[in-house]
């Protein structure tokens, strides 16, 4: 990498197949050392409940908790205690998230597959879900909204939230306010692997849930993987990532700002510009240098650029689309003359933002779409967090006598072909004299 450039520039045509594969395939593997530590934490919490949760909270967070649960009155009054501009912003975000996610669940039609044979599906929510929100010295009310609002829309009767306490042992007011806005029923001031174990198996204070959602560090992710099977989980979360497809119509100032915005999440994030324009690439490099000068998170962004960021020069937009489908980014921005034409060729991306006025931070907070997205290439097979993940469709079948008679020969023939005589007789007994 050029020592004075904040991010390296690569020409796609110069890459060998192996180099290209290394760029597009990121590993989400967790080390055995981390897994070993987390396995012990999970087992301790499973065996000793609240006692272990308190011990690990004191060890890792430096906080000795009098109570694990935040009193309900603190949640209900949190909106009155935060800055009212923030309260209004969160209310707008919650309303937009609710509107978008409410459209994802709707009654399905009854299908008559044969005369007298009706089949349909009915929606049923998961009764109790758990949401993990990173915390400690930080606050992430948007993460609360993105999980708990869809859970509420889905009809989950209990939404349990766990988040690490701050140095004072308390949950940030903004997090509690988001919980109040989004329908969270109980909040516990615990974090880390011990919180995941507590939600998975339950303790004297914390109820066991049926499915756990939410991002976290490598220890939280390892805990989710370990409890999976005893409880369901959403998906493991890796470093955040952005790819921008841009042609020479893109504004270099805006493009640089978008790359920086994505890279300030964490030093292992990935921000990638894929462009047909060498002049844009050069202008973006200059803008990155200029905009980084007074950025509060400058060191974190530079670390992110140096570890996972790059500018990729391609010959045409078809090459750009091919690369993006291999990379399968969490976020994809398309800033070209005709973004919707490019959209048609994209198969693998978590969330797509079209045009210069659709920057990723808008989706992070207030568009209404979900910002919980597949990372590390998992957008090849996974989609964004949705209302459907907080429940399930249940199949229903209703047959009349004539309806069953009309398919009875098909059922009995297939049952006997599979050597399941009892299946066949369960049909025939209904028509025997």
Dump strand ranges (E) for 133-251: 158-162, 186-188, 211-213, 232-233, 241-246
Residue 126 and residue 257 in one domain? no
Going by C-alpha positions, the residue among 291, 332, 281 that lies closest to residue 311 is: 281
Looking at 233, 265, 293, the residue that finishes a domain is: 233
The structure tokens listed for 217 are: 């560090």
Q: Look at phi and psi of residue 218 and say left if phi exceeds 0, alpha if psi is from -120 to 50, else beta.
A: alpha
Catalytic residue among 101, 147, 331, 371: 331
User: CATH number, domain at 351?
Assistant: 3.40.50.1980
Q: Is 127 a catalytic residue?
A: no
Is 327 annotated among the ligand-binding residues?
Answer: no
Q: Which of 330, 344, 389, 421 is catalytic?
A: 330
Answer yes or no: are the C-beta atoms of 132 and 199 closer than 8 Å: yes
98 and 163 share one domain: yes
Asked whether residue 371 is marked as a ligand-binding residue, the answer is: no
Is residue 387 one of the residues assigned to a domain?
no
* Closest to 141 measured CA to CA, from 82, 224, 195: 82
Range 380-414 burial, b when 16+ CB lie within 10 A, else e: eebbbbbbebbbeeeeeeebeeebbeebeeeebee
Shared domain check, 50 and 15: no
* Beta carbons within 8 Å of 52's beta carbon, 6+ residues apart: 41, 44, 45, 194
Do 263 and 311 lie in a common domain? Answer: yes
Number of Cβ within 10 Å of residue 283's Cβ equals 18
384 inside domain? no
Tokens of residue 337, six digits: 């003359």
Axis-axis angle for helices 173-182, 141-154 (nearest 10): 20
Residue 106 marked ligand-binding:
no
Containing structural domain, residue 259: 8-24+238-368
Based on the domain organization, do 193 and 286 belong to the same domain? no
Domain end position, chosen among 196, 212, 233: 233
Whether residue 178 lies inside any domain: the answer is yes
* Distance of alpha carbon 6 from alpha carbon 311, whole angstroms: 11
Q: Does 184 fall in a domain?
A: yes
85 labeled binding residue: no
243 domain residue, yes or no? yes
**3-state secondary structure at position 152:** helix
Does 261 share its domain with 214? Answer: no
Angle at 120 between CA 114 and CA 121, to 5 degrees: 160
Q: Is 106 a catalytic residue?
A: no
113 falls within a domain: no
Residuewise pLDDT in 10s, the chain (433 residues) = 344 578 999 999 999 999 999 888 887 778 889 999 999 999 999 999 999 999 999 999 999 998 999 999 999 999 999 999 999 999 999 999 999 999 998 899 999 999 999 999 999 999 999 999 998 666 899 999 999 999 999 999 999 999 999 988 999 999 999 999 999 999 999 999 999 999 999 999 999 999 999 998 889 999 999 999 999 999 877 889 999 999 999 999 999 999 999 999 888 899 999 999 999 999 999 999 999 999 998 999 999 999 899 999 999 999 999 999 999 999 999 999 999 999 999 999 999 999 999 999 999 999 999 999 999 999 999 999 999 999 999 999 999 999 999 999 999 999 999 999 999 999 999 998 6
Same domain for 246 and 215? no
pLDDT of residue 35: 93
Q: What values do phi and psi take at 405, rounded to 5?
A: -60, -35
Burial of 228-253, coded b for 16+ CB within 10 Å and e otherwise, reads: eeebbbbbbbbbbbbbbbbbeebbbe
Residue 106 CB contacts under 8 Å (≥ 6 apart), including other chains:
none
Tell me the two tokens of residue 82: 């935060």
DSSP bridge partners of 188? 69, 162
Same domain, yes or no: 62 and 207: yes
Where would I find the beta strands (DSSP E) of 171-294? 186-188, 211-213, 232-233, 241-246, 270-275
Predicted pLDDT of residue 137: 62
Whether residue 248 is found in the same domain as residue 345: yes
What is the total count of domains within the chain? Answer: 3
| Residue from 189, 214, 187, 238 nearest 390 by CA | 214
Domain boundary among 233, 263, 286: 233
Q: Is residue 378, in this structure, part of any structural domain at all?
A: no
Q: Are 30 and 221 in contact (CB under 8 A)?
A: yes
Residues 14 and 37 in one domain: no
Tell whether 179 and 73 lie within a shared domain. Answer: yes
The DSSP 8-state label assigned to residue 384 in this structure reads: -
3-state secondary structure at position 398 = strand
Q: Does 210 lie in the same domain as 141? A: yes
List beta partners, residue 393: 123
Does the residue 270 lie in any domain?
yes
Q: According to the annotation, is 397 in a ligand binding site?
A: no
């Amino acid at each position: 990498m050029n020592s004075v450039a904040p991010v390296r520039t690569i020409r796609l045509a110069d890459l060998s197949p192996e180099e290209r594969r290394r760029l597009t395939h990121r590993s989400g593997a967790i080390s055995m050392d981390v897994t070993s530590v987390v396995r012990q934490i999970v087992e301790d919490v499973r065996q000793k409940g609240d006692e272990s949760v308190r011990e690990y909270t004191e060890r890792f967070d430096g906080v000795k908790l009098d109570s694990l649960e935040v009193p309900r009155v603190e949640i209900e009054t949190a909106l009155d205690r935060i800055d009212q501009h923030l309260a209004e912003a969160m209310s707008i975000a919650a309303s937009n998230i609710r509107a978008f996610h409410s459209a994802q669940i709707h009654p399905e039609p009854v299908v008559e597959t044969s005369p007298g044979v009706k089949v349909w599906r009915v929606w049923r929510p998961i009764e109790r879900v758990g949401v993990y929100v990173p915390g400690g010295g930080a606050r992430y009310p948007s993460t609360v909204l993105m999980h708990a609002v869809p859970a509420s829309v889905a009809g989950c009767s209990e939404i349990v939230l766990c988040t690490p306490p701050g140095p004072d042992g308390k949950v940030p007011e903004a997090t509690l306010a988001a919980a109040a806005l989004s329908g969270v029923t109980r909040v516990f001031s615990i974090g880390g692997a011990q919180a995941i174990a507590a939600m998975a198996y339950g303790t004297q204070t914390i109820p066991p849930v049926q499915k756990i959602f939410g991002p976290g560090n490598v220890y939280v992710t390892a805990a989710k993987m370990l409890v999976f099977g005893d409880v369901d989980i959403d998906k493991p979360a890796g470093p955040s990532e952005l790819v921008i497809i841009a042609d020479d119509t893109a504004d270099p100032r805006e493009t640089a700002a978008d790359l920086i915005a994505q890279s300030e999440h964490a030093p292992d994030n990935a921000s990638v510009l894929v462009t047909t324009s060498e002049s844009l690439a050069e202008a973006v490099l200059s803008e990155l240098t200029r905009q980084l000068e007074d950025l509060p998170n400058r060191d974190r962004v530079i670390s992110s650029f140096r570890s996972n960021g790059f500018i990729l020069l391609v010959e045409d937009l078809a090459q750009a689309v091919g690369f993006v489908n291999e990379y399968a980014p969490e976020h994809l921005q398309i800033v070209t003359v005709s973004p919707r034409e490019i959209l048609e060729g994209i198969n693998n991306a978590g969330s797509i933002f079209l045009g210069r006025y659709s920057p990723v931070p808008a989706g992070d907070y207030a568009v209404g779409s979900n910002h919980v997205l597949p990372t590390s290439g998992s957008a090849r097979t996974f989609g964004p967090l949705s209302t459907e993940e907080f429940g399930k469709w249940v199949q229903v079948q209703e047959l009349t006598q004539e309806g069953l008679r009309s398919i009875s020969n098909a059922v009995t023939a297939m049952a006997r072909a599979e050597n399941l005589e009892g299946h066949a007789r369960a049909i025939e007994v209904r028509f025997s004299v």
